[in-house]
Amino acid sequence: MDVLFLSTRDLRNSRYVRINNKNLLETRFGTADTLAFCGRLEEVGNTRYGPRLRINDGDSLSVIVGTFNENVRRDAEAIVKKFRESDGDIYLLMYGNPYETDKLYINVNQDNGVIVVDKGTYDKFHDMRKSAQEYLRKKYDDKLPEIRGKEISDGIKDRIIEEDEFSLSNSAIIEFIRNNDEGDGVPIDDIFKFFGNFDREVLEERIFELMEMGYLYEPKSRVLKVIE
């Protein structure tokens, strides 16, 4: 079994392939038959195929759990119940297999394919994912943008992607959020509006990078705060 530890955004430029009766997903980090994700549970539902769980690790990913496996389906049903009864955040670790018809699906059908974890495990998962992907990028000589360090006004390190044609800096995003946060965070739509002259996809990528590097987090869906 070849496993890739991914964020949901890594699926954007992936490609489903079927080789020797195996369902595989090709990504810029390699090819695998099993994909692992870890995110905050933000929505639940029920379908005739099994519980639908939507996790968020910067982007949203919905999966239907337990179509062919009663054990993991039972686990997912318990998670749905827990989510509906809880006021706090719930984090899930899940792994499944890629499959594509009209669109890409992640089939979660193995025992223990979805489990509840704590925030610390979520953080460790994504630290491990970033370390593994950095190793794989070097191994496959993937030509990604270089990262450099830069001091910002309050002395924290702001790792900035090399400036693109829009010259949008990470420090500008951080300072806007910090200056406009009245305690509950800043809605992401306010950020899009303020930086309206910049390409939205570029801005989304930059915000995601800042979350990846530990400078921003979501206290609730689509609201951002600076980690001080």
DSSP annotation string for 111-180: TTSEEEE-HHHHHHHHHHHHHHHHHHHHHTT--PPPEEEEE-TTS-EEEEEPP-TT---HHHHHHHHHHH
CA distance 181 to 194: 14
pLDDT for 211: 79
CB 85 within 8 Å of CB 60: no
CB 5 within 8 Å of CB 125: yes
111-121 pLDDT, tens digit per residue, is 999 999 999 99
Q: Report how far apart, in Å, the C-alpha atoms of 228 and of each of 160, 183, 222 are.
A: 18, 13, 19
pLDDT for 141: 55
pLDDT for 129: 87
Single-letter amino acid, residue 172:
A
Residue 8 DSSP label: G
Average pLDDT per block of 10 residues along the chain, 228 residues long: 84 85 85 93 87 88 86 94 92 91 81 94 90 74 37 29 46 87 92 84 80 81 86
CB 63 within 8 Å of CB 106: yes
**Structure tokens given for 152:** 């910002």
First to last CA, the chain: 40
Of 150, 130, 148, whose CA–CA distance to 138 is shortest?
Answer: 130
**H or E stretch at 63:** strand 60-65
pLDDT for 72: 94
Query: What structural domains does the chain harbor?
Result: 3-139 (2.40.50.140), 148-226 (1.10.10)
CB 208 within 8 Å of CB 9: yes
- What is the value of pTM for the model shown? 0.61
pLDDT for 10: 83
CB 93 within 8 Å of CB 121: yes
pLDDT for 146: 35
Q: What are phi and psi of 114, to 5 degrees?
A: -145, 125
